């Protein structure tokens, strides 16, 4: 039902589910998903271009962690001499 109502409205108008009303979504501050996707692709392409032109990347190698020490025997009382 909502999709049919939106089809007959001007381009910027749509359904605001938070307010349960039809309004100009850009004026209401609701971001267009296509704009978000486009911005993400532009940023990714910018970073890829920068990596290709700098010809190097500085990165940290993960530190190797040593194994944890063995746990003491359970239920033996700690071998205390009484």
pLDDT band (50, 70, 90) for residue 81: low
What pLDDT does 42 receive?
94
Two structure tokens written together for 30: 């609701």
pLDDT over 80 (residue 82): no
Two structure tokens written together for 24: 């100009």
d(CA 79, CA 82) in angstroms, rounded, equals 9
Q: What is the pLDDT of residues 8-59, one digit of tens each?
A: 888 888 888 888 888 888 888 887 777 778 899 999 999 888 888 887 777 7
Query: ∠34-39-43 over CA atoms, to 5°?
Result: 150
Which residues, in sequence order, are bridge partners of residue 13? 24
């Amino acid at each position: 039902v909502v999709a049919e109502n939106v089809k007959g409205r001007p381009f910027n108008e749509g359904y605001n589910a938070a307010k349960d009303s039809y309004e100009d979504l850009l004026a209401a501050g609701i971001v267009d998903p296509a704009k978000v996707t486009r911005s993400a692709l532009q940023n990714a392409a910018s970073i890829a271009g920068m990596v290709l032109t700098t010809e190097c990347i500085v990165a940290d190698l993960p530190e190797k962690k040593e194994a944890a020490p063995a746990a003491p025997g359970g239920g033996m009382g700690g071998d205390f001499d009484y």
